[in-house]
Chain A
Amino acid sequence: MEARNLTFRILRYNPETPDVKPYLQDFQLVEEPGMTLFIVLNKLREEQDPSLRFDFVCRASICGSCGMLINGKPNLACKTLTKTLPDVTTLMPLPVFKLLGDLSVDTGVWFRDVSLRTEAWIHTDEVFQPDVPEGKMDNELAQKIYEAERCIECGCCIGGCATANIKPNFIGAAGVNRVARFMMDPRDKRTEQEYFEVVGSEDGVFGCVGLMACDDNCPVGIPLRSQLAYVRRQMALAGWHMSRNKK
């Protein structure tokens, strides 16, 4: 069979030339067996335009660096095989995050900010005892925590989220999932009121309008829909407890 000639329509923007408005540029390439967008973009940069900017780190869908809009849908470029794509493919950077150039966006800064705002670490007064065996934990619980911990912060859920696209401080599904992870961890001693302060707001779990694109787009298949429901339920309870205590 004749190898396909592929066209990649890529958004170009160089911060060095801010006067030049972002535009779409077409690149052509012959398809090879087993070709992924990781291979495509590197080939384009090495053979056609050395200034092309994009991010890859692990190229094995583990690190979350290469989230982008592939024909309008957020996904990881590294695991996207060209044989699943039409002859013409549009590549755009993820929205919401700050654009650094071409397909490269500043997801790291966004996620770090959300981690800081939600205080995404174990809160405890217990001091580590090096000579004492570890505290026991039921394996099912450990696996449940890991289910939420698996988020690779690629930003696909955020890029596809209508709320995150219009509300700059919304922590999105990734942020809520992160909070869920600590909420179910008995090592974190935060009370429900303390969690309420972190996510019980319009920027937190109550900002979600339930369109669920996050759940559709998550490339590692985290059950974001149930994580959102879990945190929402916990916060509803916390609100109810707080209002009762006021009376």
Chain B
Amino acid sequence: MSEYPLSVTDVLIIGAGLAGERAAIEAASQGLNVTILSLVPPRRSHSSAAQGGMQAALGNTAMGRGDSPDIHFADTVKGSDWGCDQDVARMFVEMAPVAVREAAHWGVPWTRVSTEKRIYDGEEIHEDPEKVGLITARNFGGTAKWRTCYTADGTGHALLYTTDSMVLKLGVTVHDRVEALSLIHDGERCYGAVARCLRTGNLRAYAARTTVIATGGYGRLYGVSTNAVINEGTGMAIALETGKVPLGNMEAVQFHPTGLVPSGILITEGARGDGGHLLDKNGYRFMPDYEPKKKELASRDVVSRRMIQHMRRGYGVDSPYGQHLWLDIRHLGAKHIETNLREIASICRKFRGIDPVHELIPVRPTQHYSMGGVRVNKYGQAYGLQNLFALGEAACWDLHGFNRLGGNSLAETIVSGKIVGEQIAEYTKDVSLDIRSTLIDRHVQDQADRIQKLRDRRDGTEDVFRLRHEMEEILREHVFVFRSAEPLAEAVRQLHALHERTSDIRLRGRGLGADPELSAALRLPGMVKLAYCIAKGALARTESRGSHFREDFPKRDDENWLKRTLAYWSSERNEPVLDYEPVVITESPPGDRGYGEATSGPASKK
């Protein structure tokens, strides 16, 4: 066995975004030794990109008056299309206001209630003078009250920097530029992880009493995504590869109608909210034909579907980056754009060199959020392996069911960090550190062998970047906004073949040290496995629920599908195996979402 550095810690947290860091704070405050691993410096985590805000029923503003956790609960469950775990939603909505106030105590400069004159929808808002100086909130889709707390347009950034400052203060160990390659386990319990240093390429082992996965979502499987480039689902992949831990609801993928082409950077809903139109290649405004009532302002999933439908009919604009449509805000006028839509204008100028006052913005539906992830119970404990936890977007806790509401993702990170973090701390105190060094040796050796094989394989025929693009194409082509049996079956066939081809990767370079091509090659097989789980789960689910829309089964089917998909990876069969568990309904029986006509199926086939 080759030499490798071994770190021993009470709690090992993989991922230094908001969820991981918030949980680390909870465990460290209780006297536990915590080590966090991160692909990048913690403050670069994707959490920093969240601009909108986080939902918490504080009810401080005039437009949020009378808000309560009960109403937040109802919105969340309805949003989830009754696919969420209602026990979790209940804990979450009760804790969210506390988590927001705690963040304020730690230093987040939340935007506050002020009496500055404000007009919304033609009416002037009069704030309660008693509430001035308390944390304010803004409007978000799918919420009955104004509930989204924010810090200007940088909520995620402010929260992450503050949370990270607490991590610094508490002396939590953070190892950045480190990538977890596998979990150390014996089929029953998890004992830590094998990781690779992204500075040197050297392997390391981390032994821990409890291990926590907090690596965020898998948006990058789709190639074009609003997600950061590090959101490759690595935490989910290493959990799946244990063969013991299932992933929940991987087919539940959220798309956003207006990702900028080609980068996929988000153009927020505000553009359409303020009166922006979607146009096709002929400059024709097509949304009123599909959704006469709501037009561009139908819900996210509905607008995404209509855009794809229209492009399929041949009205998309051709570009070197594939087909797209136009977003037109020119008629709103320079003054409005420079004030109310300043962020959008700045993104267009910086990233496309387009001036939206005079030019059209190229957009198309883009992957946005992963509702699925490592299936955990309401305490954050992973199914299938003891001493393993997961939280945040990497987990299927399951707060969002089949559709996440805006403002609930950022909220989930710090609320679950607080709730699950406390569980982790309590749990860890009762776990003894009984790890056999031979088990660690074996797991490190497995990874060392993988790396050596990749470096030595001179007869391989596959290029890692090409395979990756093929995987992205398959998902975008067949497992996107619209789904139906034939394309999904095709995706499953192609992903099966693609997975087998990943064992034939040959590096073009020498793969020494922290070589990026080697990193990509080590990561790709896990990513393809996740893609396979998404496609297979989507093929099996013969209904439409939330973001999962089947053209051949356009209605929600509570009789047969009020259940959560569990995907296991069986190494013997070299493919995912699906299982199901019922969704437990505690307070809110399934009903109508009431988001407009298209939520229960296509309004009319044209």
Contacts and interface: CB of A to CB of B under 8 A. Distances in A.
Contacts of A57: 40, 44-46, 228-230
Interface band, chain B: 35 or more
Contacts of A119: 169
Given A79-B350, A111-B41, A134 B104 contact: yes
Contacts of B168: 112, 115-116, 120-121
Contacts of B600: none
Which of A45, A128, A149 has the largest count of B CB atoms less than 10 A from its CB? A149
A108 B44 contact: yes
A139 B112 contact: yes
B429 interface: no
B284 interface: no
A50 B507 contact: yes
Interface in A149-189: 149-150, 152-153, 182, 185, 187-188
Interface in A109-154: 109, 111-112, 115-116, 119-122, 126, 128, 130, 132-140, 142-143, 145-146, 149-150, 152-153
A134 B105 contact: yes
B166 A121 contact: yes
Contacts of A14: 513
B70 interface: no
Interface stretch (A34-42, A202-210, A230-238): A34-42
Contacts of A16: 512-513, 515
A75 B409 CA distance: 30
B262 interface: yes
B585 interface: no
B48 interface: yes
What is the interface of chain B mostly: helix, strand, loop, or mixed? loop
Contacts of B228: 57-59, 63
Given A15-B513, A79-B351, A153 B43 contact: yes
A146 B40 contact: no
Interface in B455-486: 464-465
B7 interface: no
What is the interface of chain A mostly: helix, strand, loop, or mixed? loop
Given A57-B230, A138-B112, A150 B157 contact: yes
A149 B44 contact: no
A121 B107 contact: yes
B347 interface: yes
Given A36-B263, A57-B230, A187-B105, A143 B177 contact: no
B229 A56 contact: yes
A87 interface: no
A18 to B, nearest CB: 11
Interface in B157-178: 157-158, 161, 165-166, 168-169, 174, 176-177
B141 interface: no
Given A121-B166, A146-B151, A58 B109 contact: no
A218 interface: no
B43 A111 contact: yes
B49 A136 contact: no
A137 B103 CA distance: 14
Contact of B158 (A50, A149, A188): A149
Contact of A135 (B49, B104, B176): B104
Contacts of A135: 104-105
A148 B497 CA distance: 51
A59 B514 CA distance: 21
Given A51-B515, A79-B351, A111-B41, A134 B157 contact: no
Nearest to B515: A51
B517 interface: yes
Given A58-B46, A63-B228, A122-B165, A81 B111 contact: no
Interface band, chain A: 35 or more
B200 interface: yes
Contact of B105 (A50, A126, A143): A126
A134 B56 CA distance: 13
Interface string A94-120: 000000110000111101100110011
A209 B18 CA distance: 37
A55 B230 CA distance: 10
Contact of A188 (B102, B107, B110, B112): B107
B322 interface: no
A121 B169 contact: yes
B517 A51 contact: yes
B122 interface: no
Nearest to A136: B133
B540 interface: no
Contacts of B352: 34, 81
Contacts of B100: 134
A143 B111 contact: yes
Contacts of B263: 36, 38-39, 59-60
Contact of B41 (A108, A122, A143, A187): A108
A51 B509 CA distance: 6
Given A57-B46, A59-B229, A130-B98, A137 B112 contact: yes
A81 B104 contact: no
Contacts of B169: 119, 121
Interface string B54-93: 0000000000000000000000000000000000000000
A81 B353 contact: yes
B465 A50 contact: yes
A53 interface: yes
Nearest to B198: A100
A126 B102 CA distance: 12
Given A50-B507, A57-B230, A100-B199, A134 B134 contact: yes
B158 A60 contact: no
A50 B516 contact: yes
A93 interface: no
Which of B46, B134, B157, B174 has the largest count of A CB atoms less than 10 A from its CB? B157
Contacts of A126: 105
Given A34-B352, A64-B43, A121-B169, 19 more contacts: A14-B513, A15-B514, A34-B351, A51-B517, A58-B48, A60-B263, A81-B350, A81-B353, A84-B353, A108-B42, A109-B41, A112-B41, A122-B165, A130-B102, A137-B112, A138-B112, A139-B133, A145-B109, A149-B157
Interface of B: 40-46, 48-49, 98, 100-102, 104-107, 109-114, 116, 132-136, 151-152, 154, 157-158, 161, 165-166, 168-169, 174, 176-177, 199-200, 228-230, 261-263, 265-266, 319-321, 347, 350-354, 362, 464-465, 507-510, 512-517
27 contacts: A15-B200, A34-B261, A38-B263, A51-B516, A57-B44, A57-B228, A59-B228, A60-B351, A63-B44, A64-B43, A108-B176, A119-B169, A121-B107, A122-B105, A122-B107, A126-B105, A128-B102, A128-B105, A136-B132, A138-B112, A139-B113, A139-B114, A143-B111, A143-B152, A145-B109, A146-B158, A152-B48
